[in-house]
């Protein structure tokens, strides 16, 4: 089991890796949206806006992971709620992709890191995530 400083560091690195992949995914959605914005009169630009919105959602989740990683490394008390929100929203997004008909294997791979972080946050006592005063 991960304990102490090593555990926090591993979880922070996993969160930063998840954020990096999220940023790359968001850029992909922004690229798709910009391609669609220049085509057609009404329908394709509207679909482009949906792609932008999805990219913004993924970028927001990546930002939450970055905040969580910084908070857990500096042992801030607000690390746990940020991490829980980031992982649950990420898992819901993965679930929505599966419901929309995407392949199950990429979705399972995309849910490993959020599941590990969520497991860590719920198995560690709250006092171990922040400074003792």
- Domain ranges for the chain, please list them: 4-124
Q: What tokens does 53 get?
A: 């919105």
**Residue 30: strand, helix, or coil:** helix
Q: How many CB atoms lie within 10 A of CB 81?
A: 12
The H or E element spanning position 108 is helix 104-110
Question: Is the pLDDT score of 116 beyond 80?
Answer: yes
pTM to 2 decimal places: 0.86
CA-nearest of 83, 63, 77, 62 to 11 is: 83
Of 38-42, 67-71, 120-124, 128-132, where does mean pLDDT reach its minimum? 128-132
User: pLDDT grade, residue 126 (50/70/90)?
Assistant: low
Tens digits of residue pLDDT in 12-48: 999 999 999 999 999 999 999 988 888 877 888 899 9
């Amino acid at each position: 089991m991960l304990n102490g400083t090593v555990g926090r560091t591993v979880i922070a690195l996993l969160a930063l890796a998840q954020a990096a992949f999220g940023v790359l995914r968001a850029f992909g959605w922004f690229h798709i949206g910009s391609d669609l914005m220049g085509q057609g009169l009404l329908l394709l630009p509207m679909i482009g806006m949906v792609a932008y919105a999805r990219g913004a959602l993924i970028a927001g989740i990546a930002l939450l992971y970055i905040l969580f990683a910084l908070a857990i490394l500096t042992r801030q008390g607000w690390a746990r709620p940020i991490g829980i929100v980031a992982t649950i929203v990420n898992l819901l997004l993965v679930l929505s992709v599966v419901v929309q008909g995407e392949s199950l294997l990429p979705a399972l791979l995309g849910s490993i890191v959020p599941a590990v972080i969520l497991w860590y946050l719920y198995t560690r006592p709250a006092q171990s995530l922040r400074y003792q005063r």
